[in-house]
Structure 1
Amino acid sequence: MMRRLSRVCACVLAAGGSRRMGECKLLMPFAGSTLLERALEAAAGCAAEGVVAVTGAYADEMAPVVRRMGAREVRNPSWARGQASSVRAAVLHAACEGFDAVMLMVADQPFVTRSHLDALLRGRDGERAWACLSAAGGRSGNPCLFDKRCFPALLELQGDEGARSLFRRHSGIPVRCVHFEDARLFEDVDTPEDLARLEGAVAHAR
């Protein structure tokens, strides 16, 4: 197991309204658990010292789960304004708590494990890479890791911009992609059909 990286905070973004699902997808039964619990378990098991869940639309329902999983809760009252508001909430928390880096992950990617997160942490490559992105199957995305030198740029994000969009505004940021063989890493749950399909895939992969 990797040693704990004391100045890295793992932030699970879980504030969305699950509009396409019609109810809170992150708390629905999934493979003997829930998507939220799977994400928090991966974050808690990796080498990052801090674990935070950014909640919003279903904050009251999620709070007991977050506490039980040993994570801290950061509530985002502006969750309806888009994902950027949750990214800003995560980054502000990390900055206020004195962390040197923040690892951002969304809670609806059931194939993300602590091994993926630890590989991303190892990918920081000392001080050279300001940001690390997960990459698989010709794509890159979440989870991703940002050094505190990226915090001011992340706080500029607006609307539905995700953290990766800052590279369009700040093309000079040194970024490294950490490659994974399994492209299912980026599979996420938006609809009841997604939930059923990915639950079956997760069960088959065991």
Structure 2
Amino acid sequence: MTTLSNWTGILLAAGRGRRFDPLGHEDKLLQILPGGASVACQSAANLRAVTSQMSVVVRADNTRLLQVLHQAAYPTLRCQNADEGMAASLTAALQSTTASTGWIIALADMPFVQQQTISLVLQALQDGADIVVPVYQGKRGHPVGFSRHHLPELLTLRGDQGARRLLQQYPVCEIAVDDPGILQDIDLPGDLNAYLP
């Protein structure tokens, strides 16, 4: 079995969150959840609990978020071209971790994903699946796991679609989970208190 250290968690935290605050004054990833952690730090904690290697991809000019993550000892990667879309952040992280056996790709604005769900995604990858997606009540969610088999194609992604094309093009191992958090992101201020993990 592949050791845990060969698998890398990637937390995408480089978006601008314009729906949360169209004026750009409030960073949704720095908002405090009912449990006391910021959105980004809670998402990072969930991922780090399962993967011993991780990288949080942050917009290079988001100094406040970089500082908060640094203070919490989460490894960060500054993405200079994050405004080109989610794929730019993802490929930046992949390029810096090409020696990994595979990746669990999570979104920083989804802090309610249960650690058990992330563990199940990892287990499916370790058992030989090339693409793994958790499913709650028939709906696919996050995080998504990829083995290095798909690295060449992942590195060619562009724009804001992320890896959606690969999920449509190749066989996907779906893991049924009792975790509504895989579908719950923070888009609006009310989402901060709408769900408790």
Question: What residue number does 1:178 align with?
Answer: 175
Superposition RMSD on alpha carbons, in Å?
A: 1.9
SS of 2:93's equivalent in the other structure is helix
Q: Alpha-carbon deviation of 1:57?
A: 6.3
Mapped to 1, the partners of 2:13 and 2:190 lie a distance apart of 20
Question: What residue number does 2:47 align with?
Answer: 43
Question: What residue number does 2:79 align with?
Answer: 76
Q: Alpha-carbon deviation of 1:146?
A: 0.7
Question: What residue number does 1:28 align with?
Answer: 31
Q: Alpha-carbon deviation of 1:58?
A: 5.4
Alpha-carbon distance change, 60 to 134 in structure 1, aligned in 2, over 3 angstroms: same
Residue by residue over 1:74-94, the C-alpha shift from the partner in whole angstroms, topping out at 9 and shown as x without a partner, is: 111111111111111121122
Identity of aligned residues (%): 27
Structure 2 unmatched ranges of 5 or more: none
The structure 1 segments of at least 4 consecutive aligned residues displaced by more than 6 Å after TM superposition are none
Question: What residue number does 1:14 align with?
Answer: 13
Which residue identity lines up with residue 139 of structure 1 in the other structure? K
Task: Count residues in correspondence.
Answer: 191
Question: What residue number does 2:185 align with?
Answer: 188
SS of 1:67's equivalent in the other structure is helix
Q: Alpha-carbon deviation of 1:148?
A: 0.9
TM-score normalised by length of structure 2: 0.89
Which residue identity lines up with residue 15 of structure 1 in the other structure? A
Q: Alpha-carbon deviation of 1:141?
A: 2.5
Q: Alpha-carbon deviation of 1:17?
A: 0.6
TM-score normalised by length of structure 1: 0.85
Match of 2:70 among 45, 67, 72: 67
Q: Alpha-carbon deviation of 1:125?
A: 5.0
Mapped to 2, the partners of 1:185 and 1:133 lie a distance apart of 10
Residue by residue over 1:85-111, the C-alpha shift from the partner in whole angstroms, topping out at 9 and shown as x without a partner, is: 11111211221xx11111100011122
Structure 1 unmatched ranges of 5 or more: none
**Which has more strand, going by share of residues?**
1
